[in-house]
Amino acid sequence: MSQAPVTAKRILTEEAFAYFCTTDMRNRPHLVPVFFIFDSSNCHAYFLFSRESKKLRNLRSHPRVSFTVDVRDAVNPLENKGVMIRGDAKAEPLDDPGVDKDHVKHLFEEKYGWSSSQSFYRHNHDERILVDVSIRKITCWQGPTFLSCPKFCIASRRRGGVCTSSVGGEDHEIRRSRG
Amino acid sequence: MHREVPDFPAEVRWLLEEGYFGYLGTADSRGNPQVTPVIFVQEGNSLFLTISRVAEKLKNLRQNERVAFLIDIRDPSDLANNRAVLIEGRAKIYGIFDVLSNLRRALRVRGLLLKKYPKYAAFYAAKRSLLPKPWRTTLFISRLLVEVEIGRFSYMRETKPLALERSAE
């Protein structure tokens, strides 16, 4: 059985930084390291960006985004592993009644150990905007092996799910075994 | 002859030279982005890397030469104490004739890669026959040389952008 969903979920849950890529109106990529939360219950990722940041301007005009979370090994390339996400981003002011900000705040505090006394909604006097990324595609790799998994592989662990594996650039379909 | 680039601020020059992994952000012709980790070397005003011929980022580069390239250093003991430089520039894919017409530079880049990543080089040499073809390092057969010409850069420390400028353009 493929270990990709387990590996991907662990990386997305445990690693601190995501490398978040947006594009501007002229299709020029922009890339920054950011803190993030992956919520496996709904397969969404959450970010807090400054209202004036370039990435926020970019995703408002072009909501398709990509981010990568990885574990590096400086000795053995076979041990490099990571997850690349492609999804649709939506910027939501934290005072929007539709945002469950307490849940998101709890997730950030749990992961990064931010005390509740620290300002959560402001950073360097800038208002923070919650960015909700709905995940469309997950690509997971370890060394030369790539696994592209439908999001339910991670979100629900349901049996019989299908992963598409790409080993050496050749696509294969792997049907996860039942039982 | 090694070309020096004296006009980068020291903080940026250090990241360009010592940063071990970089992140390459590309986008297709419709602006759909993709970001992946890569290894790289700096040579003159450019960064060089090799990309597998079957990689999606190579398809993106054929459609859209604009790239973002981020190099960062993490501090595991203090997550806020990270340093990063974001390069924005244009990528050029080297074909056979590009390599032949820039042979000395291409050989210099190869030497820099071997010097910067000796453990990776040893690994690839030892495991070559076990690796899938797109992951091997044979130029043109498995990988293509890509140059990222450095256009603009931004330096970030402790998650905040800092204004640093080249001392001379």
What residues of A are in contact with residue B26 (Cβ under 8 Å)?
Answer: 29
Query: Is residue A123 in some structural domain?
Result: yes
ipTM of the complex as predicted? 0.86
Please give the structure tokens belonging to residue B167.
């001392």
Burial of A125 (0-12, 13-18, 19+ CB in 10 A): exposed
**Type and span of the H or E element at A87:** strand A81-93
CB contact under 8 A, A70 and B160: no
* DSSP string for residues in A106-146: HHHHHHH---TTS-SSEETTEEEEEEEEEEEEEEEEETTEE
Confidence of residue A155 (pLDDT cuts 50, 70, 90): low
Query: What CATH number is attached to the domain comprising A44?
Result: 2.30.110.10
- Min Cα–Cα distance to chain A from B159, Å: 8
Write out pLDDT tens, residues A16-42. 999 999 999 999 999 999 999 998 888
Return the domain boundaries, chain B. Answer: 10-162
- Pick the closest to residue A19 from B80, B49, B72 (CA basis): B72
CA distances from A170 to A8, A111, B58, B87, B143 (A): 21, 37, 16, 32, 16
Q: Which of A62, A66, A76 sits opposite B123 (nearest CB)?
A: A76
Put simply, whether B82 touches A (Cβ < 8 Å) is yes
Write out pLDDT tens, residues B136-167. 677 767 789 999 999 999 998 766 655 666 65
Query: Is residue A172 in some structural domain?
Result: no
DSSP 8-state assignment for residue B80: T
Which has more confidence, B4 or A4? Answer: A4
Q: Is the pLDDT of residue A156 over 50?
A: no
Alpha carbons B156 and A31: distance in angstroms, whole number: 12
Write out pLDDT tens, residues B29-53. 999 999 999 999 999 999 999 998 8
Q: Is the pLDDT of residue B62 over 80?
A: yes
Average pLDDT over residues B86-99: 94
Alpha carbons B82 and B76: distance in angstroms, whole number: 9
Query: Is residue A171 in some structural domain?
Result: no
Query: Is residue A64 in some structural domain?
Result: yes
Number of domains present in the structure of chain A: 1
CB contact under 8 A, B23 and A64: no
For residue A119, the one-letter residue type is S
Count Cα atoms within 13 angstroms, Cβ side, for A152: 7
Which has more confidence, B124 or B14? Answer: B14
Write out pLDDT tens, residues B10-25. 999 999 998 999 999 9
Write out pLDDT tens, residues A54-84. 999 999 999 999 999 999 887 777 788 999 9
Please give the structure tokens belonging to residue B165.
């400028």
What residues of B are in contact with residue A72 (Cβ under 8 Å)?
Answer: 20-21, 37
Alpha carbons A127 and A45: distance in angstroms, whole number: 20
Q: Which of A20, A33, A67 sits opposite B72 (nearest CB)?
A: A33
Write out pLDDT tens, residues B68-88. 999 998 877 777 778 899 999
Chain B's closest residue to A168, CA to CA, is B132
Considering chain A, what is the average pLDDT of its residues? 77
Query: Is residue A168 in some structural domain?
Result: no
Domain, as residue range, for A117: 4-138
Write out pLDDT tens, residues A113-154. 876 555 566 655 567 889 999 998 888 888 767 766 655 555
User: What is B10-162's CATH topology?
Assistant: Pnp Oxidase; Chain A (2.30.110)
Confidence of residue A159 (pLDDT cuts 50, 70, 90): very low
Put simply, whether A111 touches B (Cβ < 8 Å) is no
